[in-house]
């Protein structure tokens, strides 16, 4: 059977494995039929385009070509559009044209539901989005894209997920700017690490917000007070350089998932954060997921209040040699644990009470002894509920292999694997 004999739906499935550029450069040269299939609705449903180049002279023609293509074919077909414009807008005088072309290209995609835009130039979320006010549900700007929020964004009544400036760039709010109250998930960044910038008060108006993530959180701990008005908020993630905790953290009693990650602070700040977390956790009794990156063992004792906890992730080695997980009823619901091997090894007596523990991940570290790893592997072989043991990406000592083999023999349903990431994320 030749390619020409395949039905259209199979050819479309095959063509879908090619990039947009590959499809439109090569396939039209094969036959008229291939050219027609390249522009089929199924292949245009999701478009991912990366426009790179050493200069605007090289990249801008490609962006103009993309805008022209979408004007011809985008209407009613493109639902997901992800643009990486890293090669465009290097010069100030081309940035205005870039935004004009982006606006024209997206306007042609009637019915657009998801838009991702990564660029080296500033992106202003303004009236160019309004043609999609009733269809756009997800909007993301690049992790290193400086983003400006303008008033028209508040009119995007279908928008549910919004991500802006998550790593090195800050998100700026123009005077009178609002966020759409339809949002259920928001991720934003404070890339400038500016002490004077508070949390945008607009966040406090998002009555439907369920998940909030902040990179390099704002240092004004009192400015988080509007979060207490968000009755639907159940997930809070503070990542990057975390210097302070929100003053209102203890009052966010509806939280089900809390992450405080990537702490790059001095010992005094670590101690203050540990004390604050110790107090807050006593009130956050509905938590089912907790991810922490702290060296201080202080909050360990407060874990006993979290009787609904199912997933616990504690990054890095704890200060001191005696830190261990506390015994108690809080372990009865625990299904996943990711922690430093030495903490797990010291906590094995307490983990006997974790009757539902199904996944155990050991974070890599240079100061873990073979004896500690050996004790964990042997314990895992006897813990019937356990289904997966992740030993970290570092090579295992030859002395441990007999114990791993024996654990596999004693517990056939247990999968013992190297983890593929340094810090597993339970989501």
DSSP letters along 235-272, please? EEEEESS-----TTGGG-TT-SEEEE------HHHHHH
What CA–CA distance (Å, rounded) separates 348 from 139? 45
Those residues with Cβ within 8 angstroms of residue 398's Cβ, 6 or more apart along the chain or in another chain: none
Q: Is 36 helix (H, G, I), strand (E, B) or coil?
A: helix
Taking residues 392-400, what's their average pLDDT?
Answer: 77
Is 342-427 the same fold as 1-44? Answer: no
Taking residues 292-298, what's their average pLDDT?
Answer: 86
Check the CA dihedral 180-184-188-194 and report its sign: positive
**pLDDT at res. 263:** 61
Taking residues 246-263, what's their average pLDDT?
Answer: 91
CA angle, residues 359, 288, 282, in degrees to nearest 5: 125
What CA–CA distance (Å, rounded) separates 90 from 120? 7
Q: Which residue has the higher pLDDT, 225 or 320?
A: 225
pLDDT digits (tens, 9 = 90+) for 128-146: 999 999 999 999 998 878 8
Q: Domain residue spans in the chain? A: 1-44, 342-427
CA angle, residues 61, 64, 69, in degrees to nearest 5: 125
342-427 has which CATH code?
3.80.10.10
What CA–CA distance (Å, rounded) separates 93 from 91? 6
pLDDT band, very low/low/confident/very high, at 322 (cuts 50, 70, 90): confident
Taking a C-beta distance cutoff of 8 angstroms, is the pair 346, 322 a contact? yes
The 3-state DSSP composition of the chain as helix, strand, coil percent (nearest 5) reads: 35, 20, 45
Buried b (16+ CB within 10 A) or exposed e, 72-110: ebbeebbbbbebbbbbbbbeeebbebbbebbbebbbbbe
**pLDDT at res. 267:** 76
CA angle, residues 407, 408, 412, in degrees to nearest 5: 120
**pLDDT at res. 15:** 75
pLDDT band, very low/low/confident/very high, at 427 (cuts 50, 70, 90): very low
Low-confidence winner among 7-16, 268-277, 289-298, 378-387 (lowest mean pLDDT):
7-16
Both tokens of residue 139? 């909007």
Closest CA to 191 of 168, 175, 211: 168
pLDDT digits (tens, 9 = 90+) for 145-177: 889 999 999 999 999 999 997 665 678 899 999
pLDDT digits (tens, 9 = 90+) for 266-275: 777 788 888 9
**pLDDT at res. 257:** 97
Q: What is the architecture of the domain spanning 1-44? A: Up-down Bundle (1.20)
For the cut 80, the answer to whether the pLDDT of residue 55 exceeds it is no
**pLDDT at res. 70:** 87
Taking residues 388-395, what's their average pLDDT?
Answer: 80
- High-pLDDT (> 90) share of the chain, %: 49
DSSP-assigned beta bridge partners for residue 50: 84
pLDDT digits (tens, 9 = 90+) for 79-105: 999 999 887 766 777 888 888 999 999
Return the number of other C-beta atoms located less than 10 Å from residue 206's C-beta.
25
Both tokens of residue 413? 């349903």
Write the CA distances from 148 to 86, 127, 240, 259, integer angstroms.
18, 12, 21, 26
**pLDDT at res. 394:** 67
Closest CA to 383 of 415, 351, 405, 361: 351
What CA–CA distance (Å, rounded) separates 390 from 303? 23
Q: Is 54 helix (H, G, I), strand (E, B) or coil?
A: coil
């Amino acid at each position: 059977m030749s390619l020409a004999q395949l039905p259209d739906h199979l050819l479309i499935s095959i063509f879908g494995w090619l990039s947009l550029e590959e499809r439109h450069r090569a396939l039209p040269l094969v036959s008229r039929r291939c050219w027609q299939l390249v522009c089929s609705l199924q292949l245009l449903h999701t478009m991912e385009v990366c426009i790179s180049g050493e200069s605007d002279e090289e990249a801008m023609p490609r962006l103009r070509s993309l805008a022209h293509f979408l004007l011809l074919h985008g209407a009613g077909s493109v639902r997901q559009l992800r643009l990486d414009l890293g090669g465009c807008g290097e010069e100030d005088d081309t940035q205005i044209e870039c935004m004009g072309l982006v606006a024209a290209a997206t306007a042609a995609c009637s019915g657009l539901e998801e838009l991702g835009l990564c660029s080296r130039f500033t992106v202003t979320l303004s009236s160019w989005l309004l043609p999609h006010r009733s269809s756009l549900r997800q909007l993301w700007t690049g992790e290193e894209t400086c983003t400006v929020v303008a008033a028209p964004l508040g009119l995007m009544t279908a928008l549910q997920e919004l991500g802006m400036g998550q790593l090195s760039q800050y998100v700026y709010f123009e005077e009178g700017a609002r966020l759409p109250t339809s949002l259920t998930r928001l991720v934003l960044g404070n890339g400038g690490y500016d002490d004077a910038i508070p949390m945008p008060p607009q966040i406090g108006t998002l009555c439907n917000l369920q998940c909030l993530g902040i990179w390099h959180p704002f240092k004004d701990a009192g400015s988080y007070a509007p979060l207490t008005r968000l009755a639907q908020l159940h997930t809070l993630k503070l990542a990057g350089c975390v210097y302070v905790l929100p003053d209102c953290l203890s009052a966010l009693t509806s939280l089900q998932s809390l992450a405080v990650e990537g702490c790059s602070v001095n010992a005094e700040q670590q101690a203050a954060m540990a004390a604050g977390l110790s107090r807050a956790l006593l009130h956050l009794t509905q938590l089912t997921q907790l991810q922490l990156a702290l060296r201080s063992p202080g909050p360990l004792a407060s874990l006993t209040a979290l009787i609904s906890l199912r997933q616990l992730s504690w990054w890095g080695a704890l200060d001191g040699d005696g830190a261990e997980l506390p015994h108690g009823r809080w372990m009865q619901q625990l299904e996943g644990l990711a922690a430093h091997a030495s903490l797990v090894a010291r906590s094995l007596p307490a983990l006997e009470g974790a009757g539902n523990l199904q996944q155990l991940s050991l974070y890599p570290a240079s100061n873990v002894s073979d004896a500690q790893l050996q004790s964990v592997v042997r314990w895992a072989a006897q813990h019937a509920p356990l289904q997966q043991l992740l030993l970290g990406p570092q090579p295992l000592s030859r002395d441990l292999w007999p114990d791993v083999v024996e654990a596999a023999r004693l517990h056939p349903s247990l999968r013992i694997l190297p983890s593929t990431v340094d810090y597993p994320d339970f989501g």
